Amino acid sequence: PVCSMGNSTSRLYSALAKTLSSSAVSQHQDCLEQPDSARLDPIDPKDLLEECQIVLQKRPPRFQRNFVDLKKNAVSNHRPIRVMQWNILAQALGEGKDNFVQCPMEALKWEERKCLILEEILAYKPDILCLQEVDHYFDTFEPLLSRLGYQCTFFPKPWSPCLDVEQNNGPDGCALFFLKDRFELINSANIRLTAMKLKTNQVAIAQTLKCNETGRLFCIAVTHLKARTGWERFRSAQGCDLLQNLKNITQGAKIPLIICGDFNAEPTEEVYREFSNSSLNLNSAYKLLSPDGQSEPPYTTWKIRPSGECRHTLDYIWYSQHALNVNSALGLLTEEQIGPNRLPSFNYPSDHLSLVCDFSFNQDPDRLL
């Protein structure tokens, strides 16, 4: 059932009301930053979390997930950098195209689902947040997250499938957010991925940041590759293009790199092997949760569509293993927590699980290259 907020609409909804109207969205579809929100008052994250919980009071509580400590006696004298990767499920696709046959439409209502998404972000407090399938950037994520201290960047797909849905909220795309008090932006690149020399509908954002605490540079990238069976070679070509771009940006791995994304590819696919074997010396952080450190999780997405049940590992956080350590990673939801109707649900807002890792810099990265 829908939970009315009664008279407590104050902070969250006044925050949204002060931000861009839907008519303003169309003027900014080309992406990037929105200077107006910077002038709005900061929001205390505890206040925003409280407002979300009021909206969600008739829903089941959030699932408990624990961080797994992965440090191998590594000593670091700086705060770890927490990175969150998440395909949040575009609202237009969830309601209009994805056909989650076991998920009630009531569970997908944006006014509540956005609070579930915000609650998840506020619970883990990432320093850097990488999202895919963002179609409420201008009216929700940019205005709220900028007031929480994040610098915000958005790059929409050129031909977003969201635009085929009636009463859509504009195109979906990738979004990247980082805390301005922890990092300084050195360089930002919006990349439209190519395949077989043709421009495609998939995009990436790559930003070079300087860590204010250590003075170290690193590059953070977010992407979302082409979906569906039968497009394996296409994804492979997109991956090659992204890797080439990142080689140039990181000067051939001189700058440490973290890549977050929904690759729409199982570990058996060619694009996964390209990233594993790249000269950028990348490793997949979530492999470290396995007993041997060599196996990806059994799933990062789990849903039921008319064609049947879909349980896949598609989402990854890649990192420069010579320059960065993974201190910890957030455990995944269990099958029991997910439940027989799978995702999304009243408990969980997306068909993809969020991935969260804490990184620290190696003291002597060059020695390991």
Q: Is 29 within the bounds of a domain? A: no
What residues make up the domain containing 162?
Answer: 80-364
Nearest to 61 by CA among 70, 69, 74, 52: 52
Cβ 170 vs Cβ 43: under 8 Å: no
Residues 3 and 112 sit within 8 Å (Cβ to Cβ): yes
Using CA of residue 23, residue 29, residue 35, residue 40, what is the dihedral sign?
A: positive
Q: What is the pLDDT of residue 86?
A: 98
Mean per-residue pLDDT, 274-282 = 98
Classify residue 36: in a domain, yes or no.
no
User: Taking 60 as the threshold, does the pLDDT of residue 26 lie above it?
Assistant: no
- 126 in a structural domain: yes
Q: Is residue 45 part of a domain?
A: no
Q: Please give the Cα distance from 217 to 195 (Å, whole number).
A: 29
3 state SS of 368 = helix
CATH, residue 356: 3.60.10.10
Q: Look at the block and give the residue holding tokens 């959030």.
A: 62
pLDDT (mean) for 349-357: 98
73 assigned to some structural domain: no
Percentage of the chain beyond pLDDT 70 is 87
Q: Measure the CA angle with vertex 85, ends 166 and 122; round to 5°.
A: 85
Q: What is the pLDDT of residues 172-199, one digit of tens each?
A: 999 999 999 999 999 999 999 999 899 9
How does pLDDT run across 324-348, given as a tens digit for each residue?
Answer: 999 999 999 999 999 999 999 999 9
pLDDT value of residue 72: 73
Q: What pLDDT, on a 0 to 100 scale, did the predictor assign at position 290?
A: 96
Instruction: Return the percentage of the chain with pLDDT > 90, whole number.
Output: 82
Model confidence at 4, in pLDDT bands (50, 70, 90)?
very low
Mean of the per-residue pLDDT values of the chain: 89
- Reported as a single tens digit per residue, the pLDDT across 32-77 is 444 555 567 899 999 999 999 999 999 999 999 999 999 876 667 7
Q: In the chain, at which residue ranges do the beta strands (DSSP E only) sit?
A: 67-69, 81-87, 128-134, 150-156, 173-179, 183-195, 198-211, 217-224, 257-262, 282-284, 301-305, 308-312, 315-320, 324-330, 355-361
pLDDT on residue 5: 36
Q: Do residues 170 and 135 make contact, with C-beta atoms less than 8 angstroms apart?
A: yes
The count of structural domains within the chain is: 1
Residue 75 has a pLDDT of 67
Per-residue pLDDT for 230 more than 90?
A: yes
pLDDT of residue 17: 44
Whether 317 is in a domain gets the answer: yes
Which tokens is 19 given? 């931000």
With respect to residue 24, please indicate whether it lies within any of the assigned structural domains. no
33 lies in a domain?
no
Burial (Cβ within 10 Å: 0-12, 13-18, ≥19) of residue 2: exposed
Overall size of the chain counted in residues: 369
